[in-house]
Amino acid sequence: MVRGMAESILRWLPVLLLFFFAAVLVTACSTPMGNPEDGKRWYSMHNCFACHGPNGNDGKAPVVSSLEMSHWRFKRIIRNAGSPIMPKYPKEKISAQDVADLYAFLKAK
Ligand code: HEC
């Protein structure tokens, strides 16, 4: 019984792996390309500069210029920094595209 189950899991393993990699690929490809010029606009429009400084490294909050974190982590922080100070920005306020723009802007800065 147990052996039969292990065998059927093994038989389906390649299919499961295929689904897994397809899902990873789709997630990676659905990250929009960021436009740094637009990111610059969102940075001032959403008042990021008030805490992080006009240059991203001259505010009271942590440095965000020349950003090295992953896009995934950056997005999570924008949605919810887990900080009592930094506001949460749901997608109604900053869309996935705008997050990508901000990311491109700060990475290049
Ligand atoms: C009211 C002040 C405030 C505003 C406005 C604000 N932040 Fe923040 N931000 C913070 C603080 C404080 C932290 C540190 C949070 C912590 O580590 O607990 C932070 C953390 C971050 C981090 C993580 C930095 C790191 O290295 O861990 C990023 C990235 C970031 N902010 C980007 C932004 C962007 C982009 C905007 C505008 C859309 C923004 N913040 C608006 C205060 C602010």
Place of tokens 């997005």: 75
pLDDT along the chain (109 residues), means of 10: 81 92 84 94 98 97 96 97 97 97 96
User: 């949460």: which residue's tokens?
Assistant: 88
Taking a C-beta distance cutoff of 8 angstroms, is the pair 90, 25 a contact? no
Task: Output the pLDDT for position 32.
Answer: 85
Q: Tell me, in angstroms, the distance from the centre of ligand 1 to residue 28's CA.
A: 24
pLDDT for residue 105: 98
What are the Cα distances from residue 18, in Å, to 12, 22, 23? 10, 6, 9
Distance 102 CA to ligand 1 centre (A): 12
Instruction: Check if 45 has its Cβ closer than 6 Å to any atom of ligand 1.
Output: no
Question: Ligand 1 centroid vs 109 CA: distance in angstroms?
Answer: 16
pLDDT attached to residue 65: 97
64 within 8 A of 106, measured Cβ to Cβ: yes
pLDDT of the residue at 5: 84
Residue type, 85: I
Q: How many other CB atoms sit within 10 Å of the CB of residue 93?
A: 12
Rounded to 5°, angle at Cα 28 from 95 and 55: 50
Res 1: pLDDT: 59
Question: What's the pLDDT score for residue 9?
Answer: 86
Q: Hey, what amino acid is at 88?
A: K
